[in-house]
Amino acid sequence: MDIAKHLAAHPVVVAPMAGVTDKAYRQILASFSKGLLYTEMVSDKGLQYRNDRTLEMLKVDKEEGNVVLQLFGSDPKAMGEAARLACSRSRAVVLDLNMGCPVEKVVRKNGGAALMRDKETARKVLRALVENADRPVTVKMRSGWDFDSINAPEIARIAEEEGAAAVAVHGRTRSQMYRGTTDHGVIREVVRAVGIPVIGNGDIQSPEDARRMIENTGVEAVMVGRALWGDPWLLGRIDAYLRGSKPPPPPALEARLALIKRHAQLLSKEKGENVAVREMRAHVPRYFKGQPGSAPYKRHMNRIETLAELDELLKAYQRGNPPGS
């Protein structure tokens, strides 16, 4: 894949989201966009030790579109092995190094955003990925560890030197976690620092936010995260807005409910009905966000035990009947 050409044609990218961008939801998102779709984080150690659950995360179907497999870890040897294994078993078109995750259990092992504090290890890990991959390698990072160590431009230059094809920058520090606002200034500095494509990430919840990110920073593409959870239609709205086209109308209620059912069916196929129903308890309130009169149905979702009960809940909402009646 020529990433620069792909981003020019499809400038809206789906961010990696733990518990959200699994195989089922990637299939749904791919039906709305041909842009890059990131997987959940995949552990290099899990691949090195052939953990069954981790190996399962390598599986990418044709229906999932242009998938970026995101790896995390800080051991160059393990990362090189993970890259070889991923390339032999996955249809993902790109491998990505996670240098942005702020979660304690990741950073305490020098993974995720912690790599931004260890430039030499970051360089070695990147080199191992690039040398062992037969497809493009990218990097997703934050602006820095904290406000006293904002170094995304420097890390981006290292990534470019080691052969990365693109970088994505979340304009918050690790210490900010998901608080505060995205710093467009540091993303703009990264754009100026490298010759490879830069993807801007953070606080993109509307088509206007996406346009603002591009105009303020000069990035080639925008990465959208949590705003897509329960609203995959946002991909089409952003894409149309950026192209100067008329955005598609909001989905009709029937289309929204049909997509919820499809999501549940895809999850059931991949993980079994029991797991699918438990996970849909988190997804359904997102699909119902902002929908009139949906509050009691969202609450009742926690009592749902089967796909048949979910179907009845959706029918009750469509008819305006009280949940559980």
What confidence score (pLDDT) does residue 325 get? 65
Q: What share of the chain is helix, strand, coil (3-state, %, to 5)?
A: 50, 15, 35
Q: How confident is the model at residue 166 (pLDDT cuts 50, 70, 90)?
A: very high
pTM of structure = 0.95
What confidence score (pLDDT) does residue 247 get? 87
| Active-site residue, selected from the candidate residues 15, 36, 85, 101 | 101
Per-residue model confidence as pLDDT tens digits over 209-247: 999 999 999 999 999 999 999 999 999 999 999 999 988
Please give the Cα distance from 63 to 79 (Å, whole number): 27
Q: Which residues of 96-131 are buried (b: 16+ CB within 10 A; e: fewer)?
A: bbbbbbbeeebbeebbbbbbbbeeeebbbbbbbbbe
- Domains defined for the chain, CATH in brackets: 3-243 (3.20.20.70), 253-319 (1.10.1200.80)
Q: Which residues of 226-250 are buried (b: 16+ CB within 10 A; e: fewer)?
A: ebbbbbbbbbbbbbebbeeeeeeee
Please give the Cα distance from 312 to 325 (Å, whole number): 10
Please give the Cα distance from 53 to 40 (Å, whole number): 13
Nearest to 135 by CA among 98, 168, 91, 100: 91
Active site residue 101: yes
Q: How confident is the model at residue 324 (pLDDT cuts 50, 70, 90)?
A: confident
